[in-house]
Amino acid sequence: MSRVKVGCCGFAKGKKAYFQQFKLAEIQQTFYELPSVGIVTKWREEAPQDFQFSLKAWQLITHLPSSPTYRKAGLQIPADKESNYGFFKPGEEVFEAWPKTRNVAEALSAKVILFQCPVKFTETAENIANSRHFFTSINRADFVFVWEPRGEWSNHV
């Protein structure tokens, strides 16, 4: 079994050509807006059996509604709910986004889920507490979680 897997984010060449050349793809679309379970089930069925998918967690978990990525996705968050989204906040909005992300990962038979955080998600006591609470409260199943910090963090966290 290969210890290094090579793939791209998305299907730059189209799925059929991609499946012939690579054995792994990261699905970035899931970060912006989750595709339906039906669509990703079709992707899984089209892929070779040994093909692996990974995906980015939905931005409602990691990013604030002020992020330009919400606008890019066309997400409309009610003004009175904006403070409940992103940064792993311990409210129902973030915790409702997780099982939807997990369902897509399960339909893809993905084992790796990437949590990409924005530059503004920095090492504060609140962010650390929210992250710990989120990751210890959710149903992790057998997923491997990858955290991609983009803000300033020390090496000891």
Tens place of pLDDT per residue across the chain (157 aa): 557 777 778 887 788 888 888 889 999 999 999 999 999 999 999 999 999 999 999 999 999 999 999 998 988 899 999 999 999 999 999 999 999 999 999 999 999 999 999 999 999 999 999 999 999 999 888 999 999 998 888 876 6
Domain that holds residue 63: 52-78+96-151
Within a domain: residue 142? yes
Residue 109 belongs to a domain: yes
The whole-model pTM stands at: 0.91
- Strand ranges inside 5-156, DSSP E: 7-9, 24-27, 52-56, 112-116, 144-148
41: in domain: no
138 found inside a domain:
yes
